[in-house]
Structure 1
Amino acid sequence: MNRLVEIRSQEYLCRERAALDTQRKGFWLSQAEEWEKRALDEIASHFRECNLNWSDLPSIPH
């Protein structure tokens, strides 16, 4: 999950930069969107891993 924190930090920096750099606002917002997509991919990957690990566990009879 450290990777997710790093990705979100980059996204935040790009959004902050967009607010300060009005001439290149569009560029910084598009960069932020790219980082946001990476964050969503990272989250999805984490959940896929968790689901694989759960499927390895033996079934518990009810």
Structure 2
Amino acid sequence: MNRLVEIRGQESLCRERAALDSERRLFWLAQAQEWEQRALDEIARHFQECSIAQAELARSRRLP
């Protein structure tokens, strides 16, 4: 989840830049949206990995 912290940090940085750079505001907001999507993808990947690990654990417990 350290990766998620890094991604959210980049998103926040882009939003701060958007607030400070009125000429390139739309650019920075678009960058922030890209980082936000990366964060959502990272969260989904994490839960998918957890689900796979949980399924494998359950399967191994059923084996004799």
- Normalised to the residue count of structure 1, the TM-score between the two structures is 0.92
1:8-32 residue CA offsets vs partner (Å, 9 max, x unmatched)? 0000000000000000000000000
Equivalence for 1:45: 45
Equivalence for 2:32: 32
Distance across 1 between alignment mates of 2:55 and 2:37: 27
Q: Structure 1 regions of 5+ residues with no counterpart?
A: none
Shift of 1:46: 0.1
Equivalence for 1:54: 54
Shift of 1:56: 1.1
Distance across 2 between alignment mates of 1:57 and 1:39: 27
SS in 1 for 2:57: coil
SS in 2 for 1:57: helix
Distance across 2 between alignment mates of 1:57 and 1:2: 24
Q: How many residues align?
A: 60
